[in-house]
Structure 1
Amino acid sequence: MAGAAGRGAGSGGGPVSATDVARSVVLALVRAGVREVVVAPGSRNAPLSFAAYDAAEAGLLRLHTRIDERTAAFLALGLTRGGSRAAVVCTSGTAVANLHPAVLEAWHAGVPLVAVTADRPARLRGTDANQTTDQMGLFGPQVATHDLDTVLDDLPAADGPLHLNVQLDDPLVPPDRWHPDAVPAAPPPPRPAEPVGTTVPLGPRTVVVAGDDAGPRARRLAAAAGWPLLAEPSSGSRTGPALRTYRLLLGSSLGADVERVVVFGHPTLSRPVAQLLARAEVLDAEPTTRAYAATLVADPVVDGPDDPAWLEAWQRADASVSRQLDALLDAEEARGGLTGLHVARAVGRALPPGGHLVVGASNPVRDLDLMQPAYDVGSRRKTIANRGLAGIDGTVSTAIGASLARREGNRNLALMGDVTFLHDAGALVIGPDEPRPDLTVVVANDDGGSIFATLEQGAPEHAHAFERVFATPHGVDLAALCQATRTPHWRVDSAPELTHALDSPAGGVEVVEVRVDRSRRRALDEAVRALRP
């Protein structure tokens, strides 16, 4: 790396050693506000690992180690999403490729994750040297990537994730222990002047859609204008006037009457919302490119409340459909089985003020979307999800990282399906000296991928192939899997047992497995979608 970010010699003016480079990288991370470093073991990244260890011993950062690079990257992602900026450090070769899912999620979600990858010196590239490949640009042109072969003064600026590819030459072990002094963080950038909001005229029948990471602005605008608020669970706006069953109401005459939509965040969950955005006038409050045509409105404001009859009609309909949905689920439970919707309802109710919930992709986040109440404004309940690419990758690791980033004593929950849990079961491999959060992972286990039962693939005419290539039953004993990593495990089979388990956390990371039946999932989904006010 050339320019102001690097300099070409060690502190004594001699050749730059791998130790010099590694220590400068760690100091640059600390100066930039990185307080968590996740290291995956390797030989080429040994100088970085030693430097991170010594910096942690000096109290400059908190160190985490993981044996799997993909798990390590999602742990760092979760730490950052939980409010404590993190970097992940790995060795060369396929280790770098294993960071890719988390880096992609970070880029699409705008999370400032830092990936620090070790590499061999440039002279060995293209020579078939062991564990050497072209690591530059591996994460795609969107991610800011810097090839570093000298000491680093300051972390390069990046809009989203940052990739530092660090060339490290022999020797790879330091000549001494490092005792770095306290490093002052870089001063925060000056606060920009308060933007002048775009006044949105009243009149057209308008709803506010709050997608992932929308924040409280969506709720404030909806409250000021008296417009219906359609807020996804991870929007940060599922408070106050947010409507619980908006997804179902969009299929009614009310949905057909919508003329205009003001969008905050990244809507990802439902086809009814996507269909609404495809047909209505869309005002986008986010300065990003969307898949739908929209007019950008910066910090939208209104002069006052709109016609109250519009909001009142939505509120009456939401109350009616909510009662019907609860009655439908009560009848389903009386038949002797729990569904993912029951599990989501219990988890949503169990989240206390100040609590934190990480929810997995596929059915769980959609079930929570129907079952999570609108919490009180100011109760500081937070729900996050990896909705940048909406994959199931790394969900357990993300939840562990987000929980570690929070103050001790807060209630931390995670909700996911069994396939999502198994996809990241390696996250439960946590070394004996590693920081562990208090986290209850609730797994709705229906022995397969029931979301496909609700889609076109689940139609009766495709039954011949459905189980093998979509439902993918696995038959894994989750209790035995948890026992292998000494993770406390509860299995519950009824709503009262689930409530009891949620009310009685064991401390540390624990798994609450809820057995649910997917044989009726398609029929239940059709019954839910048929509900009308």
Structure 2
Amino acid sequence: MTSPVPASMFSALSVLDSLVRAGMRHLVVSPGSRSAPLTYALAALDQEKVVKTHVRIDERSAGFTALGLAKKTLEPVGIVTTSGTAVGELLPAVMEAYHSGLPLVLLTADRPERLRGTGSNQTTRQAGMFSNFVRAEVDLTSYPEETPGEQTRLLSRAISLVAGRSEQDWSEASLQARGPVHLNLAFDTPLTPDFSAAPLLKQWAQSLRGAQAPSLAHPDLAGEGQVPSNLPERKTVVVAGDGAGEVAQKFAQTLNLPLLAEPSSGARFSEVAIEAYREVLAGELGDRIDRVVLFGHPTLSRPIASLLADESKESAIFAPVQPSWFEEGRRRERAFSSLGELAEFAGRGSEAWLNSWQVAGAQRRAQLMEQVERFRSDGESLGRAAGMSLALEAWESALEQGEILLSGSSNLIRDLDAIAPSGQRAPEVLASRGLAGIDGTLAVAAGISLAGVDGARGEPLPVRVLCGDLTFIHDAMSMNIGPLEEKPRVQVDVLDDRGGGIFATLEHGELGAHPDFAATVNRFFTTPHTVDLENLAASFGTDNGFSVRVVRVEPAVG
């Protein structure tokens, strides 16, 4: 007698059962036939409200939507694809997740092992495809039939890594870096359940209600360790890169040290945060620095990169867990896992040292604000006045309306870095700074929005996106959200300067002003376009969860 649940379905159910129990609550699915066993199982889980599924036609958008969900929840988020080129579409999101330490689970359906190397339709070497960018990978060619066996052991390890739990003691947090994992499931036909399997699928889904593992009580790193007394005074600065968190802010404030915090650091909400710090760093105060303490992943500015590379200044990094991308001996900072020991390295800042940075930062920001005000009053755009104006408006709107501010990775996040004020309040600012690409920004925004519920309205979280025109065009397809899907709440503010304006601020800007290179820079770097951004946004309909506002300015180059 034929089982109503074929072997392919049993394999999908077993893997999903383990992932749900490990804390997975969101999955993003792209349509396909080979992945049907996973899809039918997920549909049952979704109907019983065990997990939330989100369907996206484009696998690339699906990958970045999952990235946004993981960025906001810090919980394992699954992505389901069919076999073949669909799997390759995930690579950009996987690379970003790896360098950001985000817990994605790639559930890629594959053809049976016997078809590999035969030229069979949609069959390629999927196993190992992401080997440089995942924390673990398992080629499930015979799971769970081989239980107990090597595939079961590898699957258990992969799930523990993505869930951030100790493989030896599930109740303990892991000391290893988190990041994406790849589970490649080889499915043979039949791929669909029998009609009579519906009650069995429902019963299985109901058995998982409330089965998710409880959240781990991670140590409070911001309060870990006592700051030693009688620390020597030193001319130290604290650099807070992407994802540094509150611990960086508390460390700098406790020790009275200037804090150079990127917008997406999660630390820029303090009076010790220095305004317009990049330009201050380029002056006399930058030369006086003796020591640098680093939190998070700094990728935003060349002045910070130069500071960290300066052999004349001692540097240290807070690294209780080494990130996934870390390679021994490749960075020069001395690593500390104890805040107390790190404080001894940093020393304490004098009132004069901190005050000199605060005054210089406030003066430079005031000069930038004069440019912004001139632009707002008469349209005079000096330097990056238009970008800074929009960036400041986005910051203030997000703070006032309780929105999460997601910044694209090009000029505007640098404008935001220059013009954002310091103080005790700041919006939550996120960005894809793992590899700092412009890829998938709108999809990430949708994922962040769908990751939770705004308690005041019972709707998805409000997200405001700050981006340029090329970033917007690059990911416009992610606004294609079908009528059966839950819609995000995303306001997109786009600065349209008709091309890649960031290159005018790099070495190419000077070359672009020279007659011998102007045409080259314009065509190959600025890449001007003629897209009507409002009409592009409108083409996806008015009920997709996105509202788009375009601010047009004259191109910086070309």
Q: So what's the TM-score if we normalise by structure 1? A: 0.87
Q: How does 1:385-424 map to 2 (within 5 A)?
A: 385-408=431-454, 409=457, 410-424=461-475
- Would the alpha carbon gap of residues 191 and 325 (structure 1) be closer, same or farther in structure 2, given more than 3 Å must change? closer
164-173 or 287-296, larger mean C-alpha shift: 287-296
Residues 133/266 of structure 1: CA separation in 2 closer, same or farther (3 Å cut): same
Pairs within 5 Å for 1:334-345: 334-336=377-379, 339-345=386-392
Determine if contact 2:26/2:52 at 8 Å carries over to the other structure: yes
Query: For residues 92 and 514 of structure 1, what CA distance do their matches in structure 2 show?
Result: 41
Match for residue 490 of structure 2?
A: 439
Identify the match of residue 404 of structure 2 among 338, 353, 356. 356
Query: Structure 1 residues 24-33 or 346-355, which shifts more?
Result: 346-355
Q: 2:115 maps to which residue? A: 124
2:243 and 2:375 map into 1 onto residues whose CA distance is 33
- Structure 1 distance, partners of 2:5, 2:530, is 58
Alignment partner of 1:227 is 2:257: yes
> Which aligned segments of 4 or more residues in structure 1 are displaced greater than 4 angstroms?
152-155, 187-201
Q: 2:507 aligns with which of 451, 456, 468?
A: 456
Query: In the comparison of the two structures, how many residue pairs are matched?
Result: 490
Deviation at 1:225, TM superposition (A): 0.7
Deviation at 1:324, TM superposition (A): 0.8
What is aligned with 2:149?
Answer: none
After TM superposition, give the deviation of residue 199 of structure 1 in Å: 5.7
Give the Å deviation of 1:187: 4.5
Post-superposition shift, 1:376? 2.3
The SS at the match of 2:250 is helix
The equivalent residue for 1:181 is 206
Task: Answer yes or no: is 1:309 the counterpart of 2:312.
Answer: no
2:139 counterpart SS class? strand
Please tell me whether the aligned partners of residues 197 and 299 of structure 1 are also in contact (alpha carbons under 8 angstroms): no
From the superposition, tell whether residues 129 and 236 of structure 1 become closer, same or farther in structure 2 (CA, over 3 Å).
Answer: same
Query: Would you say the 8 A contact 1:40–1:90 is kept in 2?
Result: yes
Shift of 1:191: 5.3
Q: How far 1:334 moved relative to its partner?
A: 4.3
Per the alignment, in what secondary structure is the counterpart of residue 54 of structure 2?
strand
Superposed displacement of residue 406, structure 1:
2.8
Shift of 1:476: 0.4
Percent of residue pairs identical: 42
Q: Would you say 1:368 and 2:387 are equivalent positions? A: no
Match of 2:143 among 114, 132, 150: 150
CA distance in 2, matches of 1:182, 1:253: 65
What corresponds to 1:284 in structure 2? 317
Aligned to 1:270: 301
Check the 8 A contact 1:16/1:150 in 2, yes or no. no
Q: Residue 388 of structure 2 contacts residue 416 of structure 2 at CA under 8 Å; is this kept in 1? A: yes
Could you tell me how far apart the structure 1 residues matched to 2:281 and 2:553 are? Answer: 28
CA distances 1:350-401 after superposition (whole Å, capped 9, x unpaired): 1126431111011011111112223525x6x311100001001101000110
**What secondary structure does 1:370 align onto?**
helix
1:326 paired with 2:345, answer no
Does the 8 A contact of 2:449 with 2:488 survive in 1?
yes
- Aligned match for 1:508, one of 537, 545, 548: 545
Deviation of 1:61 after TM superposition, in Å, equals 0.5
How far the C-alpha of 1:16 sits from its partner, in A, is: 6.4
Q: Distance in 2 between matches of 1:67 and 1:191?
A: 36
Partner of 1:240: 270
The alignment status of 1:476 with 2:501, answered yes or no, reads no
Q: CA RMSD in A?
A: 2.5
CA change 1:295–1:197 in 2 (3 A) is farther
1:208-235: CA deviation from partner (whole Å, max 9, x where unpaired):
0000000011110110111000000000
Q: Look up the equivalent residue of 2:143 and give its one-letter code.
A: T
Q: In the alignment, which of 57, 65, 70 is matched to residue 60 of structure 2?
A: 70
Give the drift of 1:479. 1.7
Q: More displaced, 226-235 or 431-440?
A: 431-440
Counterpart of 1:112 in structure 2 is 103
In 1, Cα distance between equivalents of 2:118 and 2:505: 51
Q: Residue 441 and residue 182 in structure 1: after superposition, are their counterparts in 2 closer, same or farther (change >3 A)?
A: farther
Aligned equivalent of 2:540: 485
Residue 504 (structure 1) aligns with:
none
Tell me the residue number matched to 1:59.
Answer: 49
Distance change (3 Å), C-alpha of 1:191 and 1:237: closer
Q: Which residue of 1 aligns with 2:337?
A: 298
What is the match of residue 495 of structure 1? none
Could you tell me which amino acid in structure 2 is paired with residue 258 of structure 1? I
Deviation at residue 142 of structure 1 after TM alignment: 4.2
CA drift of 1:319 comes to 1.2
Unaligned runs of 5+ in 2: 145-151, 162-177
Between stretches 351-360 and 473-482, larger displacement belongs to 351-360
Tell me the distance in 1 between the aligned counterparts of 2:133 and 2:160. Answer: 14
Q: 1:513/1:49 Cα in 2 relative to 1: closer, same or farther (>3 Å)? A: same
SS in 2 for 1:82: helix
Residue identity in the other structure for 2:282 = G
Aligned-partner Cα distance in 2 for 1:29–1:426: 29
Structure-1 separation of matches of 2:132 and 2:269 = 37
Counterpart of 1:119, as a letter, is D
**Which string of whole-angstrom CA distances, capped at 9 and with x for unpartnered residues, describes residues 56-107 of structure 1?**
0011101110110000000001011111542110001110000000011000
Identify the range of structure 1 (193-202 vs 83-92) with the bigger mean alpha-carbon deviation: 193-202
* Residues 475-484 or 385-394, more deviating: 475-484
Letter in 1 for 2:548: V
What is the CA deviation profile of residues 291-329 of structure 1, one whole-angstrom value per residue up to 9, with x for unaligned ones?
541111224244885311100101111111111111122
* C-alpha contact (below 8 Å) 2:61/2:477 kept by paired residues: yes
| CA–CA separation in structure 1 for the residues paired with 2:557 and 2:527 | 16
Contact 1:340 1:516 survives alignment (8 Å): no
Give the secondary-structure state (helix, strand or coil) at the position aligned to 1:351.
Answer: helix
CA deviation profile, 1:391-419 (whole Å, cap 9, x unmatched): 01101000110011132245421111110
Q: Is the 8 A contact 1:198 1:299 kept in 2?
A: no
- Do residues 467 (structure 1) and 486 (structure 2) align? no
What is aligned with 1:529?
none
In structure 2, relative to structure 1, the CA distance for the partners of 1:217 and 1:33 (3 Å cut) is same
Is the CA contact 2:388–2:419 (under 8 Å) kept in the aligned structure 1?
yes
1:185 maps to amino acid = Q
1:428 alignment partner, one of 479, 489, 492 = 479
Q: How far is the alpha carbon of 1:193 from its aligned partner? A: 9.7
Give the distance between the partners of 1:436 and 1:430, measured in 2 at CA: 7
Q: Which amino acid is 1:390 matched to? A: A
Distance 2:26 2:283 in 1: 48
Segments of structure 1 that go 5 or more residues without pairing to the other structure are: 1-10, 489-506, 522-533
Q: Deviations over 1:322-349 (max 9, x none)?
A: 1111112223444525621111011111
Conserved in 1, the CA contact under 8 Å of 2:238 and 2:252? yes
Are 2:368 and 2:419, in contact at CA under 8 Å, matched by a contact in 1? no
Q: Give the match's secondary structure for 1:156.
A: helix
Which secondary structure does the structure 2 equivalent of 1:116 belong to? Answer: strand
Q: Structure 1 residues 315, 118: closer, same or farther in 2, change over 3 A?
A: same
Give the secondary-structure state (helix, strand or coil) at the position aligned to 2:114: helix
Secondary structure of 2:399's counterpart equals coil
